[in-house]
Homo-oligomer: A and B are copies of this chain.
Amino acid sequence: MLLHVRARSTRLNPDRLFGQVAHRLAVAIITGASPAGALLPNEDDLKGEISVSRTAYREAVKFLSGKGLVEARPKSGTRVAPREAWNLLDPDVLAWHFEADPNEKLIRDLFELRLFVEPSAARLAAQRRSATDLQRIEAAFRGMVENPPYAERTVTADLAFHEAIFAATGNPPLQCLAPAVCATIQWSLFLKAPDDRFFFTASLIDHERVLEAIVQRDGELAAARMSGLVIDSLNSTLRLLAGRAEANASKIA
């Protein structure tokens, strides 16, 4: 199941050659085609596998090593790092994951993480938001209302809504979780795209209630409502995943 959900803020330029190499290697690693501890194709041999110079290859490896996916030790070879070392919160790594192996466990784990951080972020946002923070959140919400359900611009607005809340916390390390959260949302919305409007309306109401709490500067209320939003979103996403699994099962039978 290969999905092409483009990451919102990827650091990898796919136009560049090294970027393509990095992408190929990353997908191979994440799918498990190259298991942990496996040696990557030798820097000289790789000419045969993929026609690319050592320079481009090495730069790709450096890029991946920064994300913990590979581990290059002099002379002994470049090895795939153990899964624990991967930076699963990195936007690129997350995007590759969704592309390569978007299993339910990952979705659940990410929603779990959302459930831990987004309500807290909403609380802080309600307490600390500046006027411009609020404008940004409101503008994003309007974008969700004024565009058709599941349209490109609606999704963008949804992501902007959540990102703006993180931004309003004034906590840069916390804000670094925004890309991961957005990637999760984006992927779950992608699943729903062709679905009926019921969830969309419900989600809209959830968002509005969070916004309202932030307007009122009511931190606890904002946190509680954000919890509700995330839980609703998780439930509908899981239902769709179950539907998919069912469809696949019947297709096999």
- Residues of chain A touching chain B, judged by Cβ–Cβ distance below 8 Å, are 9, 11, 16, 18, 55, 58-59, 62-68, 71, 74, 83-90, 92, 106, 109-110, 112-113, 115-117, 120-121, 124, 167, 171-177, 180
In angstroms, how far is the closest chain B Cβ from the Cβ of A18? 7
Q: Among B18, B83, B177, point to the contact of A172 (Cβ < 8 A).
A: B83
Residue pairs across A and B with Cβ atoms less than 8 A apart, 20 shown, are: A9-B85, A11-B67, A11-B71, A59-B62, A62-B62, A63-B66, A66-B66, A66-B92, A84-B167, A84-B175, A88-B172, A88-B176, A89-B177, A106-B173, A109-B173, A112-B124, A112-B174, A113-B174, A115-B120, A117-B117
Q: Among B63, B74, B115, B176, point to the contact of A89 (Cβ < 8 A).
A: B176
Q: Is the CB of A65 within 8 A of B63?
A: yes
- Contacts of A175 on B, CB cut-off 8 Å? 84, 88
- Contacts of A87 on B, CB cut-off 8 Å? 87, 90, 176
Q: Among B67, B121, B177, point to the contact of A66 (Cβ < 8 A).
A: B67
Cα A64 to Cα B172 with chains together (Å):
18
> Given A9-B85, A88-B176, A116-B174, list of 4 further CB < 8 A pairs?
A83-B172, A84-B172, A88-B173, A89-B173
Q: Is the CB of B112 within 8 A of A116?
A: no
In angstroms, how far is the closest chain B Cβ from the Cβ of A13? 8
Asked, given contacts A62-B62, A64-B66, whether A120 binds B116 with beta carbons under 8 Å apart, the answer is yes
- Contacts of A66 on B, CB cut-off 8 Å? 11, 62-64, 66-67, 90, 92
In angstroms, how far is the closest chain B Cβ from the Cβ of A116? 4
